[in-house]
Structure 1
């Protein structure tokens, strides 16, 4: 989840992205002189076809994919991804429509969410099991929904409440904004959304400070009595450089209020060549993200094993991507990857099917899977991945992408040939008592995707 701005005044241009620095009709517009169309995790459009619509700027996004795993799981299920759900099938991964509303200084944004992501992402949130009203079903068809007010101070102050995108992990939740399709562990295992309140403060034209008061780490509700706290700081002094940091503190272990989580996410993006009219290499850029975090208390002890306080439970990760554009930015080639170490597995995306350790919706005292993947204090997890892709972008609204991805883990984790559902691959089959989910340590896959934005 994981994200940053191309927000120019509605009535001029209103393009909202992972770090969401949208504004209203004011004379001082933050980052107005910055070209962000090249940035990973950002809207690549330079204008909206709806820019002259009063009070409302519509937005439509579609993500259609086909992926093949060389492990050939018999149930076609993808394990360990929030972008992909099914192998060897054409799938509508995401359909979003909505937009930005503005009237005087009142503002709001609503984006719906349909497709496989409306199931894949909410399933990792434990908080709906606390109390009633099926929060995962209430919210799953919304990716963003917030309202707020703009204050004409400095370069603007926005106060918003509702559901908004997380910025942790750099990648955008919306695939047309990313350089790669299958995100590295750093982005895919950190949050995609927050529920709460944020205040966007622009003290200068090139700087944003944004504190948050939220329910928790990618959670619709609260896991314990304590909310989550965090902030984003983004600095873009020129069109060739972007630096940001996101920091979070909360209590996100269900029924373990003494366990506290800290996470720091930091990125730098550099464009080191820009010749937009060149028919050869027209642009070159790289992005680097590094994360560090830990949980402490309630039976775990941060970065150090302790006989009394418990085993170490922390998160270290990094990812790097380099992208080269060709022929007036119509084509692009990206290569990169990353690593992640997460003892205790508290941020690992859990396998699905009979390997799922998540609560069963029909009986939360039991897990969904008969043979759950363990996520206990002291359980180790180390993973690394690399990918490369080629994009064809005939215009700013559509991308055709072909990508190869190779991922590894030090424990059986990805879906193998036997799948994670049953011996036949169908959820309707009675389990063979000798069958177990087929988890393996590596997978290679290719992805074909059509990414549309208007």
Structure 2
């Protein structure tokens, strides 16, 4: 699963950079990406105004507060009887109103000391954090209260070049273009390449800005979207952002680690590698106010990853995919229209969501994978946003998904023959899976 922040940053990269890099020196600090408007970028916060800011008597920011509420109604045309939306970390329920995420947070870098705490709850918390299998290793673990922490970190900013930040804690993931926070993305349902990759990490990172236009990060991590470790080794990550100007962003991310249980007694020795890169480019920006097109941009995000070792072969356990999106803004950026298409190939179901819990007999997806069929899927979506100001977004989205094997929930659902998980499962029942899916999502989010 992803973050996808993202590379997703808590207040958007533009705000994080400005808050992380102001020092207390008498000399004017060097600020990376200074003067750039980055609010249009896919996966970044679009806010320019932050009203929950506290300053000292000299006007220096002490801390910035944030409040976020995101809800949706996801209409699945298949109308699964259990109202469970499958193959999605963005939407876990269908045909009912859902509070997806409620989050509050504070961030500060007062006197170069970095502090960040975000709390969260909502449906997406259950979908993402509850799937963390690493907490089964040993004792004194568990998602417990950790699942209610979206991000928490402490560190220090050093006035080296354009900034050097060293931090430790729980972070939003740097893998992928799209964010864990859906308000920051151009579409509500994430691309499959981002939805299948991590949304959070626990570990430490160093962010270095050697020049005004470039940032590189080194990560040491417990594992691939895990609070705890699967092996005796830490995972290693690297992220790179280059912005030659405010109209172009180039990103390359890498990960290497041991991240799955192997056998019944051994710690993981299976190696995982993942790489994604992206291009986000704004090719038009209007110089005049008006109701016509105010901006136009596209994003391209490509992923490749695999696992191998102990009999696991990379050729049978890899993920390759890409997502291409195009967005037009209208009426001084108060309206926007996005179209996106993405494809994915996933032999062995590596990284893919499981569409249903195994029953007394294998479901059609399990049977197809066991027969050696590779999962191949595509997704098309169109999204219209109404954004009266920085703090609220009304979103309307239609999406179609298709796979070469039964993968999406049908009318019979994926829980039990009655649709309830408290009822005994009929030993002849199996999840109702179909090769295609059509949905309409109506969402609204608020952010200060």
Structure with a larger share of its residues in helix:
2
| Corresponding pairs, count | 427
C-alpha change, 1:377 and 1:200, in structure 2 (3 Å) is farther
Mapped to 1, the partners of 2:7 and 2:34 lie a distance apart of: 10
Which runs of structure 2 are paired with 1:227-376 in the superposition (5 Å)?
Answer: 227-255=234-262, 257-275=268-286, 277-303=289-315, 312-351=316-355, 355-356=356-357, 371=362, 374=366
Asked if the contact 1:391–1:401 (Cα under 8 Å) also holds between the matched residues in 2, the reply is: yes
Aligned-residue offset at 1:231? 0.5
The TM-score, its normalising length taken from structure 1, stands at 0.89
Aligned-residue offset at 1:448? 0.3
Aligned-residue offset at 1:371? 4.9
Aligned-residue offset at 1:437? 1.1
Structure 1 gaps of 5+ residues are 8-13, 304-311, 358-367
Q: What are the Cα deviations for residues 150-176 of structure 1, in whole angstroms up to 9, with x where unaligned?
A: 101101100010111112120011111
C-alpha change, 1:209 and 1:369, in structure 2 (3 Å) is farther
Mapped to 2, the partners of 1:19 and 1:134 lie a distance apart of: 33
Structure 2 gaps of 5+ residues are 24-28, 56-60
Mapped to 1, the partners of 2:245 and 2:14 lie a distance apart of: 19
Which runs of structure 2 are paired with 1:216-235 in the superposition (5 Å)?
Answer: 216-235=223-242
Aligned-residue offset at 1:143? 1.0
Query: Is 1:176 aligned to 2:178, yes or no?
Result: no
Q: 2:217 aligns with which of 180, 199, 210?
A: 210
The TM-score, its normalising length taken from structure 2, stands at 0.91
Aligned-residue offset at 1:135? 2.1
Mapped to 2, the partners of 1:209 and 1:177 lie a distance apart of: 22
Asked if the contact 1:382–1:409 (Cα under 8 Å) also holds between the matched residues in 2, the reply is: yes
Q: 1:25 aligns with which of 10, 22, 26?
A: 22
Asked if the contact 1:345–1:376 (Cα under 8 Å) also holds between the matched residues in 2, the reply is: no
Mapped to 2, the partners of 1:272 and 1:223 lie a distance apart of: 44
Asked if the contact 1:18–1:165 (Cα under 8 Å) also holds between the matched residues in 2, the reply is: no
Residue 362 (structure 1) aligns with: none
Aligned-residue offset at 1:115? 0.4
Kindly report the root-mean-square deviation, in angstroms, between the aligned alpha carbons of the 2 structures: 2.2
Asked if the contact 2:387–2:393 (Cα under 8 Å) also holds between the matched residues in 1, the reply is: yes
Q: 2:401 aligns with which of 403, 407, 414?
A: 407
Asked if the contact 1:313–1:378 (Cα under 8 Å) also holds between the matched residues in 2, the reply is: no
Aligned-partner SS, 1:258 = coil
Aligned-partner SS, 1:135 = coil
Aligned-partner SS, 2:121 = coil
Residue 10 (structure 1) aligns with: none
Mapped to 2, the partners of 1:437 and 1:19 lie a distance apart of: 45
Aligned-residue offset at 1:408? 1.3
Mapped to 2, the partners of 1:105 and 1:370 lie a distance apart of: 58
Q: 2:201 aligns with which of 186, 194, 201?
A: 194
Residue 47 (structure 1) aligns with: 49
